Amino acid sequence: MKHPSSRKFFAYWDEKRGFARAPDRSEIEPGPVRELLGDIFVLGYDKPAGFPFRVAGTRVCAMFGRDLKSESFPQLFGAAGRSDIEEMVTVVSEELLVAVAGVTAHTETGDKAHLEMMLLPFAARAHTPISLTGLLASMTPVIGRLGPLEMTSFRYLAHQPQRFAPRILRKLQAARGLMVYEGLS
């Protein structure tokens, strides 16, 4: 991750997940990441609907010159890259992996903008739709609206080693020469 906003949002997400592979959506509060909210978005994991934006930060909407709520996330990308972004959203949501991508786009003034995109999963809960969060931050100032995005690089972050809560072991002597260790929480 190159952008400071990506690093900060990932650190907050990582702290909230604790011992789990991903945090519950309700655990992510806006207060601790207040200065990043303009770059953050939430997507619904609904392929037939085109992975719609449920929420999009003001800076993300401003880069495209419109409110993105309910719009299809892959439609922000050029036609050639849409299947790749759909695959990335699927991997993040189903495999609970974090994805980080370098993205470029041309502005309406013809300048090339460089951005960093990060997708973070939420833990799935019964009877609630699957969703994921993300961040889209510009590496350089963006003047004018962005055209179609193009992914230039990406990677998935491997699962962090699972953290185990410390266990208290109690030794029980079951029979002569046989020891049983009972694990207690």
**Confidence (pTM):** 0.84
Q: Residue 19: its pLDDT value, please?
A: 84
The CATH classification number of 4-184 equals 3.30.450.20
Strand order in the sheet with 40-44: 53-56, 40-44, 131-138, 112-121, 98-106, 150-157
Q: Residue 43: its pLDDT value, please?
A: 97
Per-residue pLDDT of the chain (185 residues; tens, 9 = 90+): 999 999 999 999 999 998 889 999 999 999 999 999 999 999 999 999 999 999 999 999 999 999 999 999 999 999 999 999 999 999 999 999 999 999 999 999 999 999 999 999 999 887 778 999 999 999 988 989 999 999 999 999 976 655 555 555 554 555 566 666 566 54
Q: Cβ(140)–Cβ(2) under 8 Å?
A: no
Give domain limits for the chain: 4-184
Q: Residue 76: its pLDDT value, please?
A: 97
Q: Residue 124: its pLDDT value, please?
A: 84
Q: Residue 158: its pLDDT value, please?
A: 76
